[in-house]
Amino acid sequence: MKENEFLKRAASTLIRYGGEFSSFVADHAKGSYIYDRDGRELLDFTSGQMSAILGHSHPEIVGTVKSYIEKLDHLFSGMLCEPVVDLAEALVKLTPKPLDRVLLLSTGAESNEAALKMARLYTGGYEVVGFAQSWHGMTGGASSATYSAGRKGYGPMNVGGMAIMAPNLYRPTFGSAENYDWEAELDYGFNMIDRQSTGQLAAFIAEPILSSGGILELPAGYLAALKKHCEKRGMLLVLDEAQTGLGRTGEIYAFMRDNIVPDILTLSKTLGAGLPLSAVLTSAEIEEKCHERGFLFYTTHVSDPLPAAVGLTVIDVLLRDKLTERAAMAGKRLKAGLMDIMDRHDCIGDVRGRGLLLGMEIVQDKKSKNPAPELGSRITNKAMELGLSMNIVNLPGMGGVFRIAPPLTVSDQEIDRGLSILDDAIKQATSNS
């Protein structure tokens, strides 16, 4: 009854900004769990909004916030402090050359906005290419490069936006799943871009694993081929590692597997471990030319002290506790468990992803691969009832895909418990169908 009253109050006061609000009303959180006012616990397999890589209320993050809220929380945007420079230096140490210049902001959309402005200013072009399944944020330029949702009903997007298909190994466009030719698909995509471009290409923006696009992992070698296409056309490659950055995939950055370095790298969600902090990293050459041409990105919270101090703490804990290695090991355990569940349930068509960013696609049956959105919703609700929070995305032409991303601090026991709850939820949801 308390929850019902609260949700009625919410319905009478809040603007709805997406789907329906969850019926679970959070009161506090700790580690891998969220609790309501009655103490009911919910195992969080989405790290909040895919962000809390150290779990909820990590004691060292709490300590940093307490310290800096008393000491130095906010400044004039043109004024610097030690945490900002310390965090910039820490990020440069973590990142391959030549990415050695850093801009600290608040959200992922904001960092992508800044990156695309830099790309346009540096190249002199204005056309931005992304994936048709992308999500880069809700602000103007970022939303113009977002194609997975939110485009209808708002009028024209930014001029020069174009998209190509992202590779989908489970539902390939070029050839069968056994003989999928992603290189031909990529070449074809750029052939279409060349036909549409006015000759003013500025950037390609991509996630190494498209999360809101259904956990679509770019195959090994894809990023290298993509960068060659960009270099050939004089455009910059911007990689958005909002969800993949800082260890979640089992490497500090997901792009490192492919032995390439983007021209611009954006970080957000994981950098603040749940608090609003983002970053843009680029080379001294690009920064210098943009500065000479008058690059402007004054925001209210650029280079703020408190979030910078939090980001520094996140990196310290990440390195000290070897959480990148932990993500790789825990990810293997989680993926093996999901594969085992897939073997026992005909409604699970695919399990994919890397480290602790995994996807599980729900279908009517393995043979047809037909989407089953209603079943996905039932599984989500049953899992919530049983004590597991997971996020599902539904996209045209795909089954509902669960995005499974526990904190990097998740224990083996919590992984096993989550898998057990998920298995039970699927059994109950399918027995009622």
Residues taking part in catalysis: 135, 207, 240, 243, 269, 403
Is there a contact between 399 and 363 (Cβ–Cβ < 8 Å)? Answer: yes
34: enclosing H helix or E strand: strand 33-35
Q: Spell out the long-range contacts of 170-176 with Cβ–Cβ below 8 A and sequence spacing 24 or more.
A: 170/349, 170/350, 170/352, 170/361, 170/369, 171/369, 171/397, 171/398
Is there a contact between 266 and 243 (Cβ–Cβ < 8 Å)? Answer: no
CB atoms under 10 Å from CB of 331, counted, come to 25
Nearest CA among 290, 298, 262, 297 for reference residue 124: 290
DSSP state for residue 212 in the 8-state scheme: T
Give the span between the Cα atoms of 11 and 149, in whole angstroms.
24
DSSP state for residue 215 in the 8-state scheme: S
The values of phi and psi at residue 229, to 5°, are -60, -40
Give the span between the Cα atoms of 159 and 400, in whole angstroms.
32
- Which residues are CB-neighbours of 411 under 8 A, at least 6 positions away? 32
Nearest CA among 148, 143, 147 for reference residue 110: 143
What token pair was written down for 370? 């037909």
Is there a contact between 119 and 203 (Cβ–Cβ < 8 Å)? Answer: yes
Is there a contact between 103 and 302 (Cβ–Cβ < 8 Å)? Answer: yes
The values of phi and psi at residue 105, to 5°, are -130, -160
- Which residues are CB-neighbours of 152 under 8 A, at least 6 positions away? none
